[in-house]
Amino acid sequence: DTAVSQTPKYLVTQMGNDKSIKCEQNLGHDTMYWYKQDSKKFLKIMFSYNNKELIINETVPNRFSPKSPDKAHLNLHINSLELGDSAVYFCASSGSAEQFFGPGTRLTVL
């Protein structure tokens, strides 16, 4: 009964490949987010959706494309992966101020 879940937990891939990370929340929240945490542990917002509508789109390369098929799901697709994309990607959701984070997906680009 995990509140915010992500798949996969680990993702190892070659440069140039395309990959997707999936996120689901069962909290009934309207808003979902994607964050990137780099090797120095810095957490930075990438995108946010509210009721399937994109509301936050930070300065992120257009190789990254979020998709929200419904308000319980927010997926992240990454094209043409680069070495610098290696990081932990966290999904989060919120119904008000508090954000609940998923367990993270550790992406390693070789």
Q: What is the smallest separation between the CB atom of 14 and another protein, expressed in angstroms?
A: 25
**Beta strands 19-25 and 99-101, pairing class:** unpaired
Q: How many residues in the chain?
A: 110
Least distance in Å: CB of 61 to another protein?
Answer: 18
Distances (CA, A) of 60 to 2, 17, 44, 65, 97: 29, 18, 10, 9, 24
Among 15, 42, 53, 82, binds another protein (CB under 8 A): 42
Counting contacts by CB under 8 A, is residue 31 touching another protein? yes
Q: Work out whether 27 is an interface residue with another protein (CB under 8 A).
A: no
Select the span of 11-19, 39-47, 62-70, 71-79 touching another protein (CB under 8 A). Answer: 39-47
How distant, in Å, are the alpha carbons of 71, 80, 87 from that of 43?
A: 23, 23, 10
Could you list the residues that contact another protein (CB under 8 A)? 31, 40-45, 48, 50, 55-56, 90, 94, 96-104
